[in-house]
Amino acid sequence: MAFIFVGYLPKVIVSPSAEMALPARVAGVWSVSNCISAAPPAWFERWEHNRFGAFDTVEGAWSLVPEDTASAYAMLALRIWHEDRACDGWQPVN
């Protein structure tokens, strides 16, 4: 059993807000979801990502980030579990 590396994605790291009700020790939220941590503008529409929605190289991922906002982003390396839970049981991720 193992994780599978799927690629890179730059994300805006969000400082916790009062609405999040997180412990004081939480300094930032590193979310894969776009509802909390934004990805670069129009990254999906450019259709340069791989089948997992990530990028194969760090350089390819950074190329989407506007230079004037680059300091707001951090590069995430994404991994997924090697199996997916389907209706009929666990299936390997291909």
Domain ranges, ordered by start, for the chain = 3-92
Nearest alpha carbon to residue 76 among 45, 33, 44, 26: 33
Query: Would you place residue 1 in the very low, low, confident or very high pLDDT band (cuts 50, 70, 90)?
Result: low
User: What is the structure's pLDDT at 92?
Assistant: 65
The pairing of beta strand 83-86 with beta strand 89-92: antiparallel
**Contact yes or no for 37/13 (Cβ under 8 A):** yes
Q: Distance between CA atoms of 87 and 56, rounded to whole angstroms? A: 30
Pick the more confident residue, 62 or 84.
62
**Contact yes or no for 30/11 (Cβ under 8 A):** yes
> Token digits for 15?
């400082």
Q: What's the pTM?
A: 0.74
> Token digits for 41?
């503008």
pLDDT digits (tens, 9 = 90+) for 7-48: 999 999 888 888 888 898 988 888 877 788 888 888 888 888
Query: Would you place residue 56 in the very low, low, confident or very high pLDDT band (cuts 50, 70, 90)?
Result: very high
Task: Give the whole-number percent of the chain exceeding pLDDT 90.
Answer: 31
